[in-house]
Amino acid sequence: MSWLSLYNSWVICVAIISLFLWKLVGVAVFVILLILPLIYLIKEVLWVEEHHLSGFWLFILTEVAAFFTLFVTCLWFEGDGSEPISSFIELPFLGCFVLIGSSALITTYHHYLGLSAARWFLFLGVALGSCFLVIQVLEFYDCGFNLFSSVYAAVSFCTVGLHFLHVVIGLVILSILLMLGELVMDRYYADLCVWYWHFVDYIWLLVYMVVYLSFDFE
């Protein structure tokens, strides 16, 4: 077992506790502690040639398990006077098209990987992903509920918030790929970045159906 996994878990724990308690000092500590895993990540990307694809799929499996747990919890607490945090036909619906469009652009980039024109598709895909974040922020701003409105609202916000975090991570990864290029990062890591973004895109469709759309089938 790598020491880095244990280290990262404590770093993330510090960040989550700090955000819940609204202690900005903890967030600053998190940023400082994040330097070491980032250095290790850059070292792995640029100099290590041995790859373990099974590790990536295990990571995706754990992500699926986390979202599945939240989906089940949402469905369990749905009803009893609860209302969806936003209308399914408004901003969340627009977000579906934005992420699907981003996924299509990233797929095109992946298909033309190695050609100079491919970077433009990657850039446009990142731009659409950034638009999705803006849509989510506007949705949260206009929402009439908060984490303390009800158990269902809290679980819904946790589900959407977890996906929001994954989109941010995906955009950071794709932005690094855009800046460094697949020749520097290696084709293997370019593939992983694309696959991860597709996971983030398509898991949103499930989030949309469970959090926003399921009320209309009752």
Per residue of the chain (218 residues), what is the pLDDT tens digit? 466 666 666 667 766 666 666 666 666 666 676 676 667 666 665 555 555 677 778 878 888 888 898 888 888 877 665 676 677 677 888 888 999 999 999 999 888 877 777 888 989 999 999 999 998 888 878 777 666 767 777 888 888 888 888 898 889 888 888 887 765 566 777 888 889 999 998 899 998 888 887 655 55
pTM for the structure as a whole: 0.75
Return d(Cα 96, Cα 57) in angstroms, integer: 24
Distance CA 144, CA 91 (A): 14
Among residues 64, 166, 171, the alpha carbon closest in space to that of 123 is found at: 171
Domain ranges of the chain: 1-48, 54-217
**pLDDT for the residue numbered 100:** 92
CATH of domain 54-217: 1.20.120.80
- Are 88 and 212 in contact by the 8 Å Cβ rule? The answer is yes
Query: What is the DSSP-derived secondary structure letter of residue 209?
Result: I
Q: State residue 147's pLDDT score.
A: 65
Nearest Cα to 92, choosing from 206, 173, 196, 199? 206
Q: How far is CA 168 from the centre of its chain?
A: 6
Nearest to 200 by CA among 95, 76, 89, 114: 95
**Closest C-alpha among 39, 7, 52, 17 to residue 189:** 52
Both tokens of 194, joined, read: 């694309």
**Whether 85 contacts 151, CB under 8 Å:** no
